[in-house]
Structure 1
Amino acid sequence: MGFALLAAAVLALLVLVHRYVWRRFVGDTTAAGSPLRRAGTVAAYVLPLLSVGALVSGRAGVPFWLQRTLAWPGYLWLAALLYLTLALLVGEAVRPLLRRLLASRDARAPETRATETAAPAVETAAPATDSTPAEPATASAAPASAAPASAAPASALTTEAPPDPAPPAAAGPAASSRRLFVARAVGGAAAVAGLGITGYGTYGVLRGPRVKRVTVPLARLPRSAHGFRIAVVSDIHLGPILGRAHTQRIVDTVNRTQPDLIAVVGDLVDGSVADLGPAAEPLARLRSRHGAFFVTGNHEYYSGAAEWVDHVRELGLRPLENARVEIDGFDLAGVNDIGGESEGQGPDFGRALGDRDRRRAAVLMAHQPVVIDEAVEYGVDLQLSGHTHGGQLWPGNYIAELSNPTVAGLERYGDTQLYVTRGAGAWGPPVRVGAPSDITVVELASRRA
């Protein structure tokens, strides 16, 4: 019941947002029955349908080629819709100011025209007075006083009478013209801003992640492990949009850092091994002195986690399913994602860390930052996580803060430090705004060095 109400609320919100966007971009800027209005109205129906198709096609088990066909336009429209809407909302503040400015300019225009028309009339009246023959004052006084107003010279009427005001009916067309101009100006600026932001955010994802370097001192790390470098990779999200080329970019970037160890901390895929196995093949070329390790993320449990664990093992990565290995100078542990609890495969800190020698430093791979409390309880020195994408699409970072202790970066919780990478890919729209993708090289530092 609760899920149904939430779904209905989200659907209603999407309908209202699309109605608003249609009105500002189409209804306010085009004439009824025009080809542009018809095209805009068709787009207002087709684009949201593509977005819904992109969101549900994977779960519905439709053929992978159809998922890919729906994914690009459907997911990109969701990102574009967000930034077009935000740009239009900013435009709402500009709209009345621009209307008042135009109305003030139009109100000054008749006065300017009247002044320009009246000035020549005064100049022509003066010669007429000078050319009139002089008459005796007594002869002209009585007729002048008795003359009706209609007998006054035409030049005097032209000089003294104000120009006729514009007909009241003209105000309607002028106001309508101003409204159309403002609608088109604000709509055009919003389109440029919204689509420009979306395009730049897409370029950032397709370009590939950048390398970020962080030094983390650990109190129990021996001098022999000082400077040990771990390449942290998370949230690659191979799927209908990000495929083999994306994987190859990540592998090349990781290998260039020449790490001592590679930690892949979940959300590798959004799809089955059958569909995405070829896209994951470049992972077999990851290189480091102590190898590459993997823990599941919540999206693995939407995609057949058991199959993927077996497949990454075939590619040369070592899965840590609630398990621990000893590395030179510290223990490396990994726990399953909490998404596996529904399958009886959730995180088990007791298995991974319960019987270890606490005199040794411990580094934990855990996909979601929310398990930091258990990490503190088991005496972990450093937890490596992902999951948040840093919010991915601003202002999504504020939403991510509601359910995650740390959205991105390094923070301390008691004696345990938590590092959260923004991830190397993107979920849903292949767009990042305000949260660039990264691969982080964490360099461990010994306080005894």
Structure 2
Amino acid sequence: MKSNMADKAYSCEVCGSFVQKSHLLAHMKTHTGEKPHSCEECGFSFAWKSNLMNHVKTHTGEKPHSCEVCGSSFALKSTLLSHMLTHTGEKPHSCEVCGSSFAQKSNLFSHMLTHTGEKPHSCEVCGSSFAQKSNLFSHMKTHTGDKQHTCEVCVSSFAYKSHLLSHMKTHTGDKPYSCEVCGSSFARKSNLLSHMTRHTGDKPHSCEVCGSSFAQKSTLSRHMLTHTGEKPHSCEVCGRSFALRSHLLSHITRHTGDKPHSCEVCFSSFARKSNLLHHMKTHMEDKPHSCEVCGSSFALKSNLVRHMLKHTGEKPHSCEVCGSSFALKSTLLHHMLTHTGDKPHSCEVCGSSFALKSTLVRHILTHTGDKPHSCEVCGSSFARKSNLFSHMKTHMRDKSYSCKVCSSSFAQKSNLLIHMKTHAGEKYLQ
């Protein structure tokens, strides 16, 4: 009856009035921060005993409230009532700003923060702020390193149960989410939604600094680092910092030598998955990128771009020290080592140092005697791929190097040079 009475005799000196004294006393705890009710199991404290009773059920696993439609059980009656809305489709809570509707009032409150931009929940460790308390709890795990959800198949651990469930699909191969346009299937609904932007061309996430738009929010987040210059991920070995965690993980493989991504065709291993994907195209017969000048075809567009420099003669990468120009940036980087004298790649057998890793790899073969490059015609083996290419010309009918004196032809330029000396009066024993 008091709820229908206008008189609210019990007033809070800070913010308002209440009909019942018990409500006032309970309300006052929001100002004092008092939490007298503690959980004996984990030590969590609560302002109200009812909240403690609900919390205790998370330890006992008790779920007394069951859904009559689907049989799902819940620890709290309020959770059951919220669940029932998934069957009725009812969304009684509407946003007064944009008209969006929600099944739960808490979801409406969370949604309202997207209009106000308010982020009331702050991390005490790094100061990051979040709109929702649940997001703060999730963020805290990045500091504690807590990964209590373990995969029973491969023993991988995850901070969140949702990540474990998504990971399990990699073992089962289950891809329940299908694209209605092209039929592609995905293990996660989020991956399907990201994929759909390829068909719609929708880019709803815009950068407030430069106006660039992106299909995925994660891509926008990575893009923002280009404006802030922030590199929060540091290597514990050499101290180098990276904007993205994925780049740090790729970098770590340089220290460990780990190459976890293997080609199923030739068993070559790679430190990065992107390198494996590029490598796989070398096994594919499809070479969609063709040169309009000579007709050569390539599996990768990047290879076509490099090939075109042979026709144009363009050398856009210049050395700031000596002015030499190069067609490829990688060649310029290798060239720069001739100025610095830096030889970071050392042989563990004899201690010799080399500027390029590829040179070290070739040098190692002098110790092992390994000849990995074999001729498919006669079976001859060679330590270097370039030597194999030279050898292959001996099987080819094409002898493009001709002697201008006697018209003799040779498959290799080196053989022509040796032959030319016979005209100069020199005798060579082959």
Rg (Cα) greater in structure: 1
TM-score bucket of the superposed structures, by smaller chain: under 0.3
Q: Which has the higher helix share?
A: 1
The structure showing larger relative contact order (alpha-carbon pairs under 8 Å, at least 6 residues apart) is 1
TM-score by length of 2: 0.16
